[in-house]
């Protein structure tokens, strides 16, 4: 019995995502569903594979919506490190908009650095912000997204557990 590739869903933390159009094109090419999640209304293309989610204006409402649904075989696009951590722990593949993957091996240190920088800024230190998004980041992201989709598609589908009656 051959197993079909797993169904992959792409979740976009959309409020500040600079690569939404690129994600739509890659998802269309692969025939993958996309959930575009934002705090409030956000414009998305009219496409049956693209779902727009207005998660609400509450603190972290969009992050919570994504974290509650993303799991093994899914891809999450976010630059939000705490959200990335939650999704990695749930088994999802997570990419930053610049193409940097978040993994089990890297997320602990990434989260620690983020927390340290937050503490420094709150104590008045001038730390500078993140690097600005460059055209090269866009092409790095596209390559990373395509490689991630292909890697997931090569994984065997999860077999259902035998019935324990």
Write down the pLDDT at residue 57: 83
**Digitized pLDDT (tens) for each residue of the chain, 165 residues in all:** 455 555 899 999 998 899 999 999 999 999 999 999 998 888 999 999 999 999 988 888 999 999 999 999 999 999 888 999 999 999 999 999 999 999 877 766 666 666 666 666 677 766 666 667 788 999 999 999 999 999 999 887 655 445 444
Write down the pLDDT at residue 6: 59
- Please indicate, yes or no, if residue 76 is contained in any of the structural domains: yes
Number of domains comprising the chain: 1
**CATH code for the domain in which residue 85 is found:** 3.40.50
Write down the pLDDT at residue 1: 46
Q: How many helices (H) and strands (E) does the chain have?
A: 5, 6
Write down the pLDDT at residue 108: 63
What are the phi and psi torsion angles at 142 (to 5°)? -55, -45
- Please indicate, yes or no, if residue 5 is contained in any of the structural domains: no
- Please indicate, yes or no, if residue 74 is contained in any of the structural domains: yes
- Please indicate, yes or no, if residue 18 is contained in any of the structural domains: yes
- Please indicate, yes or no, if residue 67 is contained in any of the structural domains: yes
11 DSSP β-pair partners: 35, 76
- Please indicate, yes or no, if residue 56 is contained in any of the structural domains: yes
- Please indicate, yes or no, if residue 3 is contained in any of the structural domains: no
Residue 100 structural domain = 10-154
- Please indicate, yes or no, if residue 85 is contained in any of the structural domains: yes
Q: Look up the pTM and report it.
A: 0.81
What are the phi and psi torsion angles at 45 (to 5°)? -65, 150
Sheet holding 93-95, edge to edge: 50-54, 34-38, 10-13, 75-77, 93-95, 101-102
């Amino acid at each position: 019995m051959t197993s079909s590739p797993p169904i992959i869903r792409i979740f976009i933390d959309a409020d500040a995502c600079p690569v939404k159009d690129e994600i739509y094109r890659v998802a269309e090419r692969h025939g993958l569903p996309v959930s575009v999640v934002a705090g409030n209304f956000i414009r998305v293309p009219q496409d049956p594979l693209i779902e727009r989610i207005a998660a609400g204006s509450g603190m972290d409402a969009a992050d919570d919506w994504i974290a509650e649904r993303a799991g093994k075989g899914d891809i999450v696009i976010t630059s939000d490190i705490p959200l990335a951590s939650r999704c990695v722990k749930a088994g999802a593949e997570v990419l930053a908009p610049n193409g940097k993957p978040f993994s089990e091996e890297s997320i602990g240190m990434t989260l620690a650095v983020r927390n340290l920088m937050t503490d420094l800024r709150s104590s008045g230190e001038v730390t500078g912000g993140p690097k600005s998004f460059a055209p090269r980041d866009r092409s790095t992201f596209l390559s990373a997204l395509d490689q991630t989709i292909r890697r997931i598609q090569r994984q065997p589908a999860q077999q259902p557990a035998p019935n324990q009656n």
